[in-house]
Chains A and B, each alone.
Chain A
Amino acid sequence: GAGVSQSPRYKVAKRGQDVALRCDPISGHVSLFWYQQALGQGPEFLTYFQNEAQLDKSGLPSDRFFAERPEGSVSTLKIQRTQQEDSAVYLCASSLVRMVNTEAFFGQGTRLTVV
């Protein structure tokens, strides 16, 4: 597609429910990132994929967070047993190669509200 696409745009989950957030990066982009943006804050790094390989997951806040990109294109961020502190906007970004060499493009985000 023309840009990075994320779905759903909005998600309301009851505490304890599992959720899955999807990211369709720009076609051909090797690098894919997930960021978490709490209300009134800057985006915080969660995890990074190069093709299908998850090379950095140092930003995932707990083992309830899991991300995958099995075929090197679409990625899913899964949050198990959601908690209220998980409420945030989850942003996906992709870049053609490494971010140090090319520009990153962000999707519109998924706003997750845990009630």
Chain B
Amino acid sequence: ELKVEQNPLFLSMQEGKNYTIYCNYSTTSDRLYWYRQDPGKSLESLFVLLSNGAVKQEGRLMASLDTKARLSTLHITAAVHDLSATYFCAAVGYMGGGADGLTFGKGTHLIIQP
């Protein structure tokens, strides 16, 4: 059964600083997502990573994937307050009944202080 672990689960940082969120998954996965969720809102897809060594960047966020280490990272550069949210990684794998679906980490609650 695929398991996904994120760390840290809570992160408070100052504007202008850099930080990295880590996502480990337990078994082979063909697709890794990063989502953003604002309070009371649904999931906004940020990145889809498909292959080993994949790197994607959007603004101050950059995501990478190492399939050999089963590790993805989300790096925040020069954080700004607007990036405060909860970030989830999710890996595609087989669910208990055999269908492929997303298994989510517990999320990283990110607070960026002015």
Name A's B-contacting residues (CB within 8 A): 33, 35, 40-45, 48, 50, 55-59, 91, 93, 98-100, 103-109, 111
User: Residue of A at shortest CB range from B41?
Assistant: A108
Quick check: A48 and B95 within 8 Å, CB to CB?
yes
Quick check: A99 and B101 within 8 Å, CB to CB?
yes
Residues on the A chain within 8 Å of B101, using CB? 33, 45, 48, 56, 99
User: Residue of A at shortest CB range from B103?
Assistant: A45
Residues on the B chain within 8 Å of A111, using CB? 40
Quick check: B99 and A41 within 8 Å, CB to CB?
no
Residues on the B chain within 8 Å of A42, using CB? 4, 88, 90, 104-107
Which of B42-50, B60-68, B70-78 contacts its partner? B42-50
- How many residues in B have their beta carbons less than 8 Å from beta carbons of A? 27
Confirm or deny: B98 has a beta carbon within 8 angstroms of a beta carbon on chain A: yes
Task: Identify A56's interface contact among B42, B95, B105, CB under 8 A.
Answer: B95
User: Residue of B at shortest CB range from A34?
Assistant: B101
- How far apart are A61's CB and chain B's nearest CB, in angstroms? 12
Residues on the A chain within 8 Å of B48, using CB? 103
Residues on the A chain within 8 Å of B96, using CB? 45, 56, 58-59
Quick check: A44 and B42 within 8 Å, CB to CB?
no
Most buried by A among B4, B101, B102, B104: B101
Quick check: A41 and B106 within 8 Å, CB to CB?
yes
Confirm or deny: B85 has a beta carbon within 8 angstroms of a beta carbon on chain A: no
User: Residue of A at shortest CB range from B4?
Assistant: A42
User: Residue of A at shortest CB range from B42?
Assistant: A108
Most buried by B among A42, A55, A98, A105: A42
Quick check: A99 and B92 within 8 Å, CB to CB?
yes
Report Cα–Cα, A103/B31, bound state, in Å: 9
Residues on the A chain within 8 Å of B99, using CB? 48, 50, 55-56
Residues on the A chain within 8 Å of B114, using CB? none
Q: List 27 A-B contacts (CB under 8 A).
A: A33-B101, A33-B102, A35-B104, A40-B107, A41-B106, A42-B90, A42-B104, A42-B105, A42-B106, A42-B107, A43-B43, A43-B88, A44-B104, A45-B102, A55-B97, A55-B98, A56-B98, A58-B96, A91-B42, A93-B102, A99-B31, A99-B100, A99-B101, A100-B30, A104-B33, A107-B42, A108-B41
